[in-house]
Amino acid sequence: MNPKSLPNILDQLKNAVLKSKKNVIYIKLKIIPKSSITQITELLADQSWKMKVKAAPKKGKANKKIIKFFQKQFPYHQVEIAVGEKSRTKVLKLTPSLINCA
């Protein structure tokens, strides 16, 4: 993927979420662990996002990398894995954080 297209994908990600309820955002991901880089690559037909993760899926390292990635993209949100802690298909929950907004 061309690095110049990353901001475009992140803009799409912020606009095309799985669901949004009371400012809580849910994003469905299909994870490819042990990749050369951590990045979101494309929106799939089932409305999930394909995401490459550099870390291996051992001892929660890939999950931590995913959370860290999304915390950088959504700095005023608390990021957690709502579904799929031990699966390659995950649903992230992004909740607005009033503490970080001040």
Query: Can you give the CATH number for the domain in which 53 is found?
Result: 3.30.1200.10
Task: Please tell me the total count of domains within the chain.
Answer: 1
Residue 91, pLDDT > 90, answer yes
**What pLDDT, on the 0 to 100 scale, is given for residue 43?**
87
Mean pLDDT of 32-59: 92
Residue 50's nearest CA partner among 42, 58, 62 is 42
Q: Which residue range(s) make up the domain with 89?
A: 3-101
Q: Of all residues in the chain, what percent carry a pLDDT higher than 70?
A: 75
| 3-class DSSP state of 83 | strand
In angstroms, the CA 14 to CA 54 distance is 22
Q: Which amino acid is at 18?
A: L
Query: Mean of the per-residue pLDDT values for the chain?
Result: 82
Residue length of the chain: 102
